[in-house]
A and B are shown apart, each in its own frame.
Chain A
């Protein structure tokens, strides 16, 4: 039986079962045999486009090398900076709003709602917007803001707040607000869910001790709960920034990037360069720059994330 025992899985973390000094166990060899083909294939599928993008960015359409000309064109395009500005503005509207609102709801529900049934209902209600396709959310927004048939103007006019038709999608600031409101509607529940779950991990004893000492709800939050939520804020920021960079669907549906370039976020801009201006070289240069910046950003923040990697 002894040869069989050597094959048995062992608790992870320890390394018995090795056949010799520096040698690999049978299990490890099996693991590599399974992993390598799969990982290799996925790695190729991910990497080849990146190589192609770099190649496209330094060649012209007929395949001759043109150096960094596409990059200078991409960086020399004022629309690029409009797109960066729009993306930054969008992020600076939606991220703080979502985090503050989500935090407020999480704290409120955590403090006031004690019934398990009601909490479960709120959980389902919060998950709901997350699974609605952004295209459908864009349709809803269109029904609300669109000129002519938008219900928002109808409501505002019938309560007498305004008498004229407000161009929600026709004025740059309002259009940005409309587009951002869609994001806030869809993603505030995500922040709520994460922070609410975080609040459940705060030990009850420390809260009770603080209350005995006469802590107000603010000091209780500031000195105890915030401590437990801090890594989660980082996590939320990480995922939401990644998502802001990929926002496309609802903006495309709602404003198409307009009026002018007011809501032309980075993703819509690259799309437009490639599929409206058919400028593959410039689009590739943009794609490479985005990929490089994302990789740098990613490597900076990833270690700080509270993820279970074991």
Chain B
């Protein structure tokens, strides 16, 4: 009996220890990023301190204004907002007919499969031709190049998410409007869109988050701060000759703050978005 109790106790200790280690590995990187971003320049040149001795917001000021990163922040917001608009508009145009109109099932399946296959497309494989196209169209170093490419790469998510949301809205509601004499456009705008509002919002936050994080295309297709996005700026702080750790950390914190804020709205749909609706909201 005693040995059994001992076994249970040991197992409990192992579980608690395991959870402790996991929790530490999960949280410490984030803590360390924030802690470093609050250190003063003087503190960097002393030995490493686990807690900032004199917490300061100076690194944030330095990144945003002395280094002028607020321009990159503005570019990022502009590119992401435009991407959201284009992606949702195209996504609606593609999902409306396959969810609200009578179409052969094979068409619906074909469209969805095709969208899924786009998700599998590795960006680096199309970087080479896109670079050539962007230069030919003379939109190199312009936000429009990024907006186009981000919209394309986020379209699969948008199509699958919108398909899920639109399919849940009863057809009868639109039918009622049609019977009352509204045409399809009016019933789409007045009946369907408001009902799909929360779904559109969720898709918008997720597309915005993905576009916000994108780095490869932004690195390749932009060259000057006038059009670079925030992640490119962060990268510049990392690869320069002398790394200013607190500025770099502050830039990292800013880069992740925006998606974290959006997550407050979109968290319930995040997993549904990432898994193309296999895992529904809980």
Contact = CB atoms under 8 A, between A and B. Distances in A.
Interface string B98-121: 101111110111011100111111
Contact of B238 (A48, A142, A151, A302): A142
B1 interface: no
A248 B216 contact: yes
Interface in B254-269: 255-256, 259-260, 262-263, 267
Interface stretch (B53-61, B138-146, B243-251): B243-251
Contact of B234 (A27, A135, A193): A135
B42 interface: no
A113 B121 CA distance: 38
A142 B249 CA distance: 10
Interface in A73-87: none
A274 B178 contact: no
Nearest to A146: B243
B41 to A, nearest CB: 13
A31 B101 contact: yes
Given A128-B263, A132-B259, A53 B278 contact: no
Given A4-B179, A280-B128, 10 more contacts: A105-B22, A132-B260, A133-B255, A135-B235, A139-B238, A190-B271, A193-B279, A198-B279, A232-B278, A290-B122
A287 B125 contact: yes
A291 interface: yes
Contacts of A239: 274-275
13 contacts: A15-B104, A30-B97, A48-B133, A135-B213, A135-B235, A136-B252, A197-B271, A249-B213, A271-B216, A287-B126, A291-B121, A302-B117, A306-B278
Contacts of A127: 263, 267, 270-271
B68 interface: no
A135 B98 contact: no
A144 interface: yes
9 closest cross-chain pairs (CB), A and B: A49-B129, A31-B97, A139-B252, A133-B213, A267-B124, A131-B259, A52-B129, A135-B231, A31-B101
A200 B44 CA distance: 48
B145 to A, nearest CB: 12
B201 interface: no
A160 interface: no
Interface stretch (A6-14, A172-180, A221-229): A6-14
A202 B270 CA distance: 22
A139 B127 contact: no
Contacts of B129: 48-50, 52-53, 56, 284, 287
Nearest to A288: B125
Nearest to B271: A193
A275 B105 CA distance: 44
Contacts of A185: 25-26, 29
B94 interface: yes
B260 A140 contact: no
A245 B121 CA distance: 9
Contact of A9 (B100, B122, B252): B100
A308 interface: yes
B36 interface: yes
Contact of A28 (B90, B102, B282): B102
Contact of A309 (B103, B108, B209, B263): B108
Among A15, A28, A239, A253, which residue has the most Cβ atoms of chain B within 10 A? A253
B215 interface: yes
A135 to B, nearest CB: 4
Interface in B125-163: 125-133, 148, 152, 155
Interface residues of A, number: 96
B108 A134 contact: no
Interface string A1-45: 000100111111101010000000101101110110011001001
A304 interface: no
A218 to B, nearest CB: 14
A270 B255 contact: no
B20 interface: no
Contacts of A124: 263, 267
A15 B102 CA distance: 7
A270 B164 CA distance: 36
A129 B209 CA distance: 12
A235 interface: yes
A38 B93 CA distance: 7
B190 interface: no
B102 A246 contact: no
B224 interface: no
A11 to B, nearest CB: 7
B33 interface: yes
B276 interface: yes
B127 A270 contact: yes
A194 interface: yes
B270 to A, nearest CB: 5
A283 interface: yes
A15 B101 CA distance: 11
Contact of B98 (A11, A35, A149): A35
A309 to B, nearest CB: 5
Contacts of A49: 126, 129-130, 133
A38 B90 contact: yes
A204 B135 CA distance: 59
